[in-house]
Every structure is written in structure tokens, then in C-alpha cells.
Amino acid sequence: MPRRTHPVSALFVLLLAPLHAQPEHDRAFAQSVRPFLATYCVSCHGPQSPAAQFSLSAFTSPANFLNDARRATQVLERLEAADMPPKGAPQPPPAARRDAIDWFHAVRNNEIRRNAGDPGTVLARRLSNAEYNYTIRDLTGVDIRPTRKFPVDPANTAGFDNSGETLSMSPTLLKKYLDAARETASHLYLKEDGFAFAPHPMLAETDRDKFAVHQIIDFYHQQNTDLAAYFETAWRFRHRAALGQPAASLADLARRHNVSPKYLATIWQTLEIPEPIGPLAKLQAQWRDLPKPQPNQPAIARPGCEAMRAYVANVRKKVEPRFINITAGAIGTAWQPLLIWKNTQYATHRRTFDPRQLQVQGEPPFNQANVVEPEWDNAFGPGKTILVENPSGDPDLFVPAGQRPRYEAAWARFCSVFPDMFYKESRGRNYFKTGKDEGRYLSAGFHNVMGYFRDDQPLSELLLDEKQQATLNRMWREMDFVASINIRTYVEFAKLGTRGTRDDFKDGEPEVGDIEVDQIVSEPKLRKLEADYLKFANGGSPVAIQAIKTFFNQANTSIRWVQQARRDAEPAHLKSLLEFAARAYRRPLSPAENDDILSFYRDARARSALDHESALREAVVLILMSPKFSYRVDLVEKQRAVQPLSGYDLASRLSYFLWSSMPDAELLRHAAAGTLQNPEVLKAQARRMLQDPRSRALAVEFGANWLDMRDFEQIGTVDRARFPAFDDALRQAMFEEPVRLLLDVFRRNRPITDLLLAPDTFVNPPLARHYGMPPPAGDTNTWTHVPDAAPYGRGGLLPMAAFLTKNAPGLRTSPVKRGFWVARNILGDQIPPPPPSVPELPADEAKMDLPLRQMLERHRANPSCAACHARFDSFGLAFEGFDPVGHRRTHDLAGRPVDAHAQFPKGVEGEGLSGLRQFISQHRQPQFVRAFAGRLLAYALGRSLALSDGPLLDEIAGQPSLRFETVLDKILASRQFRNKRSPL
Amino acid sequence: MKTPISRRTLLRGAGVAMGLPWLESMAAGATPAQPQRFAVLFMGTGISPGRWWAKGSGAQLELSESLAPLEPLKAKVNVIDGLFNKAATGQGIHPAMTGNMLSGVPIRKGSIIQGGITVDQLLANHIGQETPQPSMVLACERAMTGFHETNFSNAYSSHISWQNSDSPVPNEMYPSLAFDSLFENGGQLRNASILDRVRDHAQSLSRAISGADKIKLDEYLASVRDVERGIERMRAGKQKAEEQARDAGRPLFAMKRPQDGLPEDIRDHIRLMCDIIALGFQMDKTRVASLLLARDLSALYYPFLGVSKQHHGASHYDTEPDYQKIVHFQVTQLAYLAQRLDAMKEGESSVLDNSVILFLSNMWSGTKHDNKKVPVLTIGGLGGKLQTGRALNYFESGDDNRKLCSLYLGIMDRMGVNLPGFGDATTRLAGL
């Protein structure tokens, strides 16, 4: 099994205060312990190819053992368990063994007493790849994951990749850091009041367009414009008492049913203030006819509300205003100023109606034939204006003789509340064939050139509150501010000169080719083009002339605005830059650091001739490249060996522990106020942080490393031809299951023994099917809690498919790997690596002559193998009821019935998973708790454990309540967590 | 206390990663293999049908009036007729005919643009790592965004080079900036000034800490210094190589840095861009270039030709003399670049002989918006790997045997990039 350990780690073990062995320990070592080791141990564990790669030859003084707590502990454990020396090797007399054990205890206890709770050496280190990604996410607000192409971080001896013991830097990696910083900075975009980061790079104009257009479209789509939803919510308000909410206000219901409170109030009034005539009178009749609430029929009013919606749509269509294309002199209907005029007419008349469509008794009918549109035969459009045709005798449009004014007023009220459209999200050239417009978001409908047009007046006026209006207005300004859409559109337009969009048919003066944008959009140039246009428009109607002037005035205003706004925003961007740096450095900047960043920005502009935005981007790269961002260095005064962490360092330690990411504003406020060293504050912050979505990182980063499944999402050992059910969705679900359970234990403060012994788990549809459970309704993102999974052979971590799959080599199970995983990862046993010459088991279970169980028995018959295998094989055999992908089974792949009986250590008999759980709960529970707490402590501190951590772990393991927060609180309150030892 | 990683290990790792610039090894007296280069030039909305053909081969190759500017180079030219890009047909006119010219994958309608990596960028990914800049993507006309009425983004009309399925490579329109990025190592200079500051940060932090913490941070500092030295070496190498080449009397094509800003005259603009490509190829600053002469829906004017219509407008009358003038003008620019490269001697041959320039348009006829076949030219022999001086016609070979992507596969093969398939093709163009 490849472990991602790193040779450097051994160099960083325990740099504690100078080591002192007591003189009597030195004497005893020389007189009895060293000869004991020489006699019984070193023949195998000597300098030349030591057994289990475990050499004792360098251990020539007590200090050697103190220096290497892990090995010392292993020697002691094996001597106590009496499985070393192995059977068959010369055995020491019991008294000699006893003496050696006592010596180890005495030395160890002495050391532990002296150093209990020592902070140990927590090295300065770079952020791990995972931490870098999470930190960038929280720093920028977008999940860029710039380290996805970095090499995998190695783990330390505690199994975690978050310590200076193994995280190193190299020139090759540094270059990847540069790439990562540049990639992150490429997402930056400038706003009027600072800068932000988009979910995608913002360097290309198409990317900026996409961003600016989609934020508006997304905003539109978030608004509820379904009239039936408003009618139904109004109905709920009318019947609020009967529906059990007598105190509910309109606004309450609006929020609950996701409709605009403002528009709901309008609808309510419109329905409730009696209207004697016209379309509203008919709508109100339908409203009054809606059924009353009935028990168990929550949707009883829905069909009636949908009928009302259909009525509005049908009637509204009949009176929709239509605007005839205009021309002016030589300027045709499709030229941008006149097309914009037409767009504007529609956009500003959506809450009005065409009174000519009313069919008044005694008046001659509206004669369509009299309406003549210029360029009616223009094949290139901008779309002929198709007039609304209503057959005469339409009862909806009927007006009694002499009542036109009264009815027009009624129609105006109706149409004002019910616009013909709330917003137009796409537009084609062919105005009335909307099916062809799909996807041309916000388009102005120009021919062959870019152009956008805003048409959302009814939405803004009727549905949006002031804050939402401001948001939408800002987004439209950002079309120009972020994406330069007004300038680029105008440049395209100006390059056409006076040729409009129909250069094939009209003559005019061409502009020269590309020149500088600044010149093209300058006011003199713009006014010159306007004058040319007006010359060509000579003889046009006043409306058309005005339309041309308005077009140029608007272009001018908008271009001048964006030029000015960009200049005005520069100080805000620099302020934003310094704030960004402070958040990146996870502490306030010193005045010198402020100067450093600003001077870098100024240099980039002056020396490298970069524009404002590029220079800012360079400064962001600098900040991300600074070790102040990419390294975690706990600063201490050099003179003092042990001292409390500063507030900011403690904030980072806490946030990288629980979130694998930077501290948030609240944590930094506490750091600034100096309150974090108060254990109660620290505890309260940790509670809050656990409930935050970011604590998922604790489950993923701690959990997956602890349980050795970090690379499970890429696991490729499964033969998908033999196990077709194993697809990417199932693999992802397998990985997610333990993460969900861990989070549940963390966030609901469950006993940590629940991880092993509780009957519950979490499944999504693919995993439920794999487990033979009824799948929850929904897609793969639908996870559901299964309170009692025992009937399906599940519950807790042990039988999770991820571990059963990961610890099986493909076409057979592996009791060895599965058992080793339980012993090592769950129970914290120290087990040496296997010798290099272990016999290979056949790869395919279906091709074995004997059941795996019997092959393992043979292997254990060899005493030097049994020493280790006796400690874990039985745990793995208990899982024999699960196939290589963790599916429950009764027969193995060769068709033999499986036997999940196991003889656990110390002769305890058990059967399958329940037997294993029983064994752990009766014999190994404290060991599990201590191991879990030890792993969590190592992860929290970012270092390997030391002997001096023993008392804390003993204290935790001795707690009456073993809930997660108890473990967490003990760690947070520990000296280790809140202090730093100045490294040697 | 041992140092966790010896300095030597760090340096050894770095030396491998940095590599040596081609020029430096040249300066050191080695005779390097001549690098192969790829350039693609694009002009939108088709050629002038009836005036675009070739007959015969070799010295007897007969060129039509549109191709006349290539006459002096005709032994190095292939005129390839009859190829098409199936994904670009039947989707609508203009952008839908353009966005996948060089990728062969279907492109997406609507507001999310989606295409595929193009042949030039794929080549850059493979061979671009050997030069300071993997590729250059230049344009003589500004890009458009927004939508065409076919519901395809105008971005498809404006970009021929795509780095991945989501984003085109931003076009560089400014000759001065293209020049800087290529010859002043703009990116490297910027990295150098960042690393310079970062080193200060690391040093000041290092002063505040001690012991093993300091060792960890010094590891960072050493990495920063190492990368900085790499950048310096590269710059020094360039200078040294240039000096030695000059001393050895090797004719180094010289070019003054273009003025800031955009050239007002399209003739100047295109010439500057061609000069930059030529120089970049000769000095092995890059081996891949893409140049958009006139985009699809081009709004370029050519008043100096006496043509009053815009490029796109004129293309609607593509058999008229006006459009022929435009096509002839653009082919003249192509010939200019080819002759520049041919004048640059490289051993026994020329830079052109070690390159291939691909010229193509998105339509055959702009009047008909017809892309059942598109015009294709290649110039240059890729170091003898590509036979030239031929008129090839695939129009009657069947749709499976006349794919543009098959041509790209054939070209990539000859440049040492062997792929099982590309775009819509899994076979090489027969008889290339």
C-alpha cells in the first residue's frame, strides 16, 4: 500500500526542550536494557535489512528513545503484548521482559511529566494544496481550485498533509504557484466600488460579455413573474384564517411562496377593489369564484388561478400596442438609431394598450389596411410590423355605444397592472417571430453587429423593491463598466459610418478602418457622425430626427459616464486592493506593507506601462505569491521558548483546523480585540464555525486522511466489466457517505463512538440501490438520512462501501487490507510494514482453489507472519459478507458460501459486522477514542504527536461523555493548541 | 539539525525544469535541428469564385489571377480545393461557418459560447513549450461580441483560435504589444518584478523567525531565487545569442519596435503583424502563429483599392471586380509573409522551407454564403515533410475524404504530433 510519506519527515520529530534522562535510567539502560535489546531484538532489527524495516541499532542511549517517541512506543507495545520476539525465536525470561518494560515506562513517564502539554514544534509551512484552494475560494468568493494541477502533497507520520514536516517548496512548485496566482488574478474584474472575482477568467471580451449578460439574465430568472403564483398567494391571504395562518400578512405569504411582496400587494388591491366594467371585472368574477380551502387539498385553487392567468394573457394580447417602423430621408428602418427608437417604443409602452382595438358599438372598425409601413418589402427586416388583428364581435373587446372613455380608463387600469411582458430577455431581427430569438440574450436585434438593449421596465416598476432596482441598475451599468459594451457597440456602429446596417443598398461616406477607440468615441467624432447622419436624414419626420439625436445623445452620455466612472473608481480599487491584501495575509497590514503594495502597483503602471486594471492584477499576483499569504508562520518572540499565539495566529490555527481555510471577518474581529485567548470565546467560535458550511472541509480533509480515502475519488482498481454497477456516480456517492456521517457527528455533537457503533448512515439514490435500500426520490444530489440501516447490513463507518472497496484489490476481497485498516486507522494500532518477500495471493477470487480464509490461515502458521497478522486478519474476515465493491453477498466469486466468522484477539469469537462491533465496544472502545482524539489533535496542530501529548489524550479518553464537542473543547483548551514553542 | 533538502537537490530540479533556450544552444556552437513552424492566416467571407484556381504542378503550376501574388513562390505552394468542415455546414450563415474552422467540432448556439481547441493551439500545447511563447494569436480587426441573428455569438466570427471549449484566445491587435510580448519577454519581466518583491517579503519574514521555521522559509526564498536566476539566464542567453549571431555574420532580421497604438492604415497593420510573425519564427521565440487578416462579417474598408464597400458588403458581390481587388490584396499580404520567411536563411534552406503557412476562408462564395467547400492554401515544406508545388482537388472524393480536419491531422503528423483523431476526422488527407 503506497503511503504518501516523505523522507524529510523523520528529521522533524520532536524538537523539544533539551532531553534529560535521570541518572538511574542511564545506569539501568547500560546494565540491563541495552544487553536485553542486543540479545533478543537486534539480531532481526539490526542495521542490515532490519525486519519490518525497524532497526534498533541506532538506539544506544535513553535519549535516542526519547527523541523517537513513536518507535519507543512500538517497542514497549510489542514487549507488553508479548508477541515480540516472535514465536520460535529465543524468548527472554519473564523477569527480564518485565524489567525492560518497567524501564521503558519509567523513562517515558519521566519525560511525559516533564513536558506534558508542551506545544511541540509546529513548523512554518506553506498552505497545503487543499488549503490553498479553500482559501482562494473564501478570499475571492469563487471556487477556482488553482492547485488542481499541483503534485500531491505528502502526508506526515500522523497521516495528514497539513504540517511543515512534509510540506516543502521547490522552484518547480514555485512556478506552479505563479501560474496559480495568475489564474486566480485572471478572474478579477473591476467594479464601481472595488473589485471582485468572476467564476471564469475575465480576460477575453467574450468572457466579460458572458459575465455581464448572464448576471442580468440570472437576476431576471430569479424573479417570479408567474401570475398564477400571485393569484394563488392572494387566495391564501384571503383564506389565511381557514388555512391556519390568521396572523399572516401579505408580505409574509409573499416571502413564503417566493413571489414579489410589492407586486402581490398590487395584485391584491387590483382583485379586491371592485371594477364594474372591462377585463378587470371579468377577472374579479373568476377570482371570487375560486374554491374555498378544503382539508388535504392544498392545491385546490391552482386550476382556477391558472385559468385567470390564461385569461389575462389572452385578453392582453388583443390590445398590445404596435409601432410602425420609421425612416428619415435616406436613412432606413434598420439603421441603428431608428431601430433603437422602435425598441424604445415597445420597452416604454408595455403597461399601455392600443385603444384602437376596442370595438365600440356604432364606431367604424379599426381599418388595418390604412396603415402603411415604410420599407414594407424590405427582405432584410428589422421585421415587418404585423398588426394585431381581432375579428369583429369579440366579446372581450366589446364596448357599449358612447362608453369609450369609460372603457379606455378600465383597460388602462388593467393593462397597467398586467403588462404585455415583464422583460424581454432576447430579441431577433424579426420582431414578431420570437421563436427565432432564443438565446440572443438582451440583444438589440441589429443585423451583423453587436448591440444590447434594456427592456425590463414593467419588472422594475411592478415587482422590484428599491434595493432590487438598484441591483438591476448596477448590473446594467456593469454591462458598460465591466464589459465595455456601450463603447464596443458604438465603435462597431461608427465604423459603418453613415452606411447604417444596410451598406449594400445605401450610399454614404465610409469611415476609415480601425483607429484608436478613444478617438472614435470622442465627443467631436461622435458629433461629427451625428451631423452626417442628420444630413442624410434631411426631410425626415420630427420624430425620426429626434430619434437620431436621442441615439447619439444617449451614446455620448453613456460613453462619457463610463470613462468618468472608471477614473473615479480608481481610488476605490486601490482601497479594495489593500483590503484584499489584509484578508490574504489574515491580519491587518502595517503602514510599510500598505506602501509596499501601492508602490508595486505604481511601478507596474510606470515602469511596465501597464494600464490600471493590468497593474491591479499584477498586484494581486504579488499578494498571492507573498509568503505572507501562501505560508502560515506563527510569529513568536525569539527569546521565549513557549508563549501564547497571537490573536491572529490563533484565529488562523482555528480556521485552518475547522475550515482548512482563512479566518472570516468575525474571527478576525475577535483576533483584533484580543478575545480569542479566552477559552469560552474560542469555544463559542468553534461552535459557530462547525455549523458553517465551510466545516465540510474538516470532514473531507481530516476525515478522508484519517480514514485513508483521500484518493478514493480517483480509485481505478475496480474492474468495471466485472462490477458494472460501479460507475462514477456510485464512486462519488461512496466517497460522500463517510463525509456526511462525519459532518453529522460533528455538527450534531454526537458521541464519537457513533462513528463505529451507530445504526445510521446517509445515502443517495445510487448508493441506496447499491445497498439494496429503497432509493430516495431525486437525483444524485439528494441525500437522505437512514436512521436504521442495520437491516441492510450498514450503519456507521465500518461497513461503508468506500472502505470495503478501497481495501479490496479488485477481483477478490482482502481481509488483510480491511483488517489492517480497522487496526491501524480506526483503532490506532502501530503495525510495521510487511517484509519485502511476502507471498502473493491470487488476484482473482474466482480462480482460487481454497477460500481466502484458509489461505490466510496458512500464512499465519508462519510465526514471524502471525506476529502481525494475528492482530488484524480477524477484523477483515468479519467483512467477508461484502464483496470487492462492498456489496452484500452470501457467496464469493467462486460460488463458495462465505464465512464471516472471526476469532478476534484474546480468543473472542464473533460473527460478521455485528461481531466486530461487539468486540470493539467491549474490548477496544477506549483505544478507539484515544486514537481518534490523537488524530484530531495532530490535525488541529499541524504536527505529529509527541509523548508530551499523552496526558491530554488520556484525559480525553477518560471523559465520561465522549461527544465530539467534548473532544474538540479539550483540544481547543489545551496548552498545545493555544501556544507556540519557538523552534530550535 | 540537518537541512531538510539540500540546496543541490533544489538546483538540480530547477535546471531540468528550466531547459535551455534554443538560441543559447545555438550560440554555444551546437547545430540544432531546424524547428518546424506553423502559421495560419484567415480572411472572412470567401474568395472571388472563378478567379481562384490552379493547374499543373511544380514549375508548370499555373495560378489564377487571385493567386498571382504567389507566382514567385509557386514551387512552395499547394492550392487545395474541395475541402470542407462538416460541422460548419447547415447551421446558419457567418458565425456558425467560422467558429470551428480550425477545430472541426460543433459549436453551440445561444449565449454560452462553446467550441473546441483549434489546431494551432493544440500544436502550441505540444511544441510551444520549447519556445519562450507557446503561440501568438494576432488580429488586424477588432473582435465583435453579441449575437448574430442565427443565434450564434458574433464571437465565433471574430476568433479563429480557441484555447479550450469555453474560450477563444484573446486576439492581440496592437503590433507594439505583440512585439513586446515576444521580444521583451513581457510575461517574464513581469514575473521577475513580482519575484523581486516576493523575495523582500520572504527576507523580512525570515528575519522575524528562527530555527526550523527559518529553514522552511529559506526553502521558499531559495526557490524564488532559483526561478529568478532562470529568468535572468533566459534574458542573458537571448542577448548573448544575438551578439554571437551578429558577430558570426549571420543575417538577423531586424525590426524596430512598432509605435504604440493601432496603425490607421490596414496595409501598415497587416505588414507589421507579418513582420512580427517572421521575426518570431526566425528567432524561435514561438513556432505557432495565427493571424486574422479580416474577420467574418468584416467591417474593413479598402479605400486605397478604390473600393467603397466594406469587406463583408463587397463579398455579397463576390464575382464583381471590387471583391476580386480585396481578395488579391489579402493574397498579396500572404505572399509578403511567405517571402519574408523565404528570405530568412536557415542552414541550406529558409525559415519558410521549415514552416507551413495555412491560408483559408470560411466560405467559398460570400454571395451565396456557400461553404460546401472552402479555399485552402499551404506555403512551405515543413523541412521537406510536405510536398509542395501542387494543385489538389478533393471535391469529388466524397465527404469523408475531404475534411479540413484530415488536412490538420496530416500537418500535425508532419510536425511530430501524431493524434488518433482531431475534430471530426480520424483519417489523414489522402495524397497530401
pLDDT at A861: 77
Q: Do B5 and A8 touch (CB under 8 A)?
A: yes
Q: What is the pTM of this model?
A: 0.82
How far A341 CA lies from chain B's nearest CA (Å)?
Answer: 19
**What's the pLDDT tens digit per position in A533-573?**
898 888 889 999 999 999 999 999 999 999 999 999 999 99
A852 compared with A619, residue with greater pLDDT: A619
- Environment class of B1 (CB within 10 Å of its CB; exposed 0-12, middle 13-18, buried 19+): exposed
Nearest chain A alpha carbon to B226: A171
Please say whether the dihedral angle defined by the alpha carbons of residues B244, B247, B252 and B255, taken in this order, is positive or negative.
positive
Contacts of B326 in chain A (CB under 8 A): none
Amino acid at B157: S
Q: Is A271 helix (H, G, I), strand (E, B) or coil?
A: helix
Q: pLDDT class for B91, splitting at 50, 70, 90?
A: confident
Cell digits of residue A251: 408580505
Question: Can you spell out the DSSP letters for B2-31?
Answer: --SS-HHHHHHHHHHHH---HHHHHHTT--
> Mean of the pLDDT values across residues A126-151?
95
> Mean of the pLDDT values across residues A389-395?
91
| A964-982 burial: b if 16+ Cβ within 10 Å, else e | bbbbbbbbbebebbbbbbb
Cell digits of residue A430: 424579426
Q: Are strands A359-360 and A398-399 parallel, antiparallel or unpaired?
A: parallel
| B104-118 burial: b if 16+ Cβ within 10 Å, else e | bbbbbbebebbbbbb
Taking alpha carbons only, the member of A454, A432, A429 closest to residue A217 is A454
Residues in contact with A822: Cβ distance below 8 Å, sequence separation at least 6, in sequence order: A798, A872, A875, A876, A916
How far B303 CA lies from chain A's nearest CA (Å)?
Answer: 8
Taking alpha carbons only, the member of A960, A513, A956 closest to residue B299 is A513
Cell digits of residue B359: 491560408
Taking alpha carbons only, the member of A715, A714, A777, A770 closest to residue A737 is A770
pLDDT winner (highest mean) among A106-120, A495-509, A832-846, B60-74: B60-74
> Mean of the pLDDT values across residues B298-305?
88
Q: What is the mean pLDDT of chain A?
A: 88
Backbone angles phi, psi at A547, to 5 degrees: -60, -40
Residue found by looking up cell 507472519 in the block: A865
pLDDT at A10: 32
* Continuous segment of H or E residues that includes residue B289: strand B288-294
How many whole angstroms separate alpha carbon B295 and alpha carbon A305? 52
B143 contacts B158 by C-beta, under 8 angstroms: yes
Q: pLDDT class for A89, splitting at 50, 70, 90?
A: confident
Window B:83-102, CB contacts with A under 8 Å: 94
A104 compared with B123, residue with greater pLDDT: B123
**What's the pLDDT tens digit per position in A318-366?**
999 999 888 888 888 878 899 899 999 999 999 999 999 999 999 988 8
A804 has a pLDDT exceeding 50: yes
- Environment class of B100 (CB within 10 Å of its CB; exposed 0-12, middle 13-18, buried 19+): buried
What letter does residue B319 receive in the DSSP assignment? Answer: T
B16 has a pLDDT exceeding 50: no
Out of B111, B226, B266, whose CB is closest to A439?
Answer: B111
Mutate to test the interface with B, among A8, A127, A205, A648 (most CBs of B within 10 A): A205
Cell digits of residue A167: 510540506
pLDDT at B13: 26
Amino acid at A432: F
> Mean of the pLDDT values across residues A413-435?
85
A66 has a pLDDT exceeding 80: no
B204 contacts A595 by C-beta, under 8 angstroms: no
Q: Do B209 and A635 touch (CB under 8 A)?
A: yes
How many whole angstroms separate alpha carbon A243 and alpha carbon B344? 87
Backbone angles phi, psi at B159, to 5 degrees: -130, 130
Residue found by looking up cell 525559415 in the block: B351
How far A977 CA lies from chain B's nearest CA (Å)?
Answer: 18
Instruction: Give, in order, the Cα–Cα distances in Å from A134 to each of A655, A662, A701, B190.
Output: 11, 8, 11, 27
A925 contacts A752 by C-beta, under 8 angstroms: no
Question: Can you spell out the DSSP letters for A318-376?
Answer: HT--------BTTB-TTSHHHHHHHHHHHHH-TT---GGGSEETTSPPP-GGG---TTT
Out of A124, A443, A504, whose CB is closest to B147?
Answer: A443
Instruction: Give, in order, the Cα–Cα distances in Å from A330 to each of A507, A526, B57.
Output: 9, 20, 53
> Mean of the pLDDT values across residues A64-90?
78
B2 has a pLDDT exceeding 50: no
Taking alpha carbons only, the member of A444, A467, A439, A466 closest to residue A454 is A444
Q: Are strands B288-294 and B136-139 parallel, antiparallel or unpaired?
A: parallel
Angle at B197 between CA B192 and CA B199, to 5 degrees: 90
Expressed in angstroms, the distance from the first to the final Cα of chain A is 34
Backbone angles phi, psi at B346, to 5 degrees: -140, 100
What letter does residue B431 receive in the DSSP assignment? Answer: T
Nearest chain B alpha carbon to A496: B299
Amino acid at A815: P
A841 has a pLDDT exceeding 50: yes
Lowest mean per-residue pLDDT among A197-201, A768-772, B106-110: B106-110
Taking alpha carbons only, the member of A744, A827, A760 closest to residue A796 is A760
Q: Is A189 helix (H, G, I), strand (E, B) or coil?
A: strand
Backbone angles phi, psi at B361, to 5 degrees: -130, 165
Window B:138-167, CB contacts with A under 8 Å: 140-149, 151, 153-155, 159, 166-167
Helix spans in A726-824 (H): 728-747, 754-757, 765-771, 801-806, 815-821
Residue found by looking up cell 381599418 in the block: A367
Taking alpha carbons only, the member of A228, A253, A251 closest to residue A239 is A253
Q: Are strands B62-63 and B54-55 parallel, antiparallel or unpaired?
A: antiparallel
A686 has a pLDDT exceeding 90: yes
Cα torsion for B327, B332, B334, B335, to the nearest 10°? 140
A123 in contact with B at a CB cutoff of 8 Å? yes
Residues in contact with A777: Cβ distance below 8 Å, sequence separation at least 6, in sequence order: none
A164 has a pLDDT exceeding 80: yes
Radius of gyration of chain B (CA): 24
**What's the pLDDT tens digit per position in A624-676?**
999 999 999 988 777 778 899 999 999 999 999 999 999 999 999 999 999 99
